[in-house]
Amino acid sequence: MADYPSNLRYSVEHEWIDDGTPATVGVTSYAVEALGDVVYLELPEVGAEIEAGSVVGEIESTKSVSELYTPVSGKVVEVNETAVDDPALVNTEPFGAGWLFKIEVSGEGQLLSAEEYAQHAG
């Protein structure tokens, strides 16, 4: 079973979120392993108001294109331009430098603990 940081919460669509203000969102190592080498990121625009569970972008890999969901509602305040310029960061540091966007949270979707997510991901 993979290790998932216990200080984060997770969505069933394989995104993670921290409890920062603003909160940081990324994709899990499970998602990265399933995707393969990430080659392109389409992230929500700064200033966008997004709703928990909605599609907010895409992650393209050498294998496929997958939709990116947001685990929370709120206003996007920053996107990781470094990861947009170098999508391989998502592969090498999904819980670190490969984060995707920051959001001022106004509501939450269903979020799982690290233990619950590990059971969900298998």
Q: Residue-wise pLDDT tens for the chain (122 aa)?
A: 468 999 999 999 999 999 999 999 999 999 999 999 999 999 999 999 999 999 999 999 998 999 999 999 999 999 999 999 999 999 999 999 999 999 999 999 899 999 999 999 98
What was the pLDDT predicted at 2?
A: 64
Whole-structure pTM value: 0.95
What does the buried/exposed string (b/e) look like for 5-32 if buried means 16 or more CB atoms within 10 Å of the residue's CB?
Answer: eeebbbbbbbbbbbeeebbbbbbbbbbb
Rounded CA-CA distance 76/5 in Å is 23
Class of domain 13-107: mainly beta
Domain ranges of the chain: 13-107
- Nearest Cα residue to 67 out of 11, 120, 21: 11
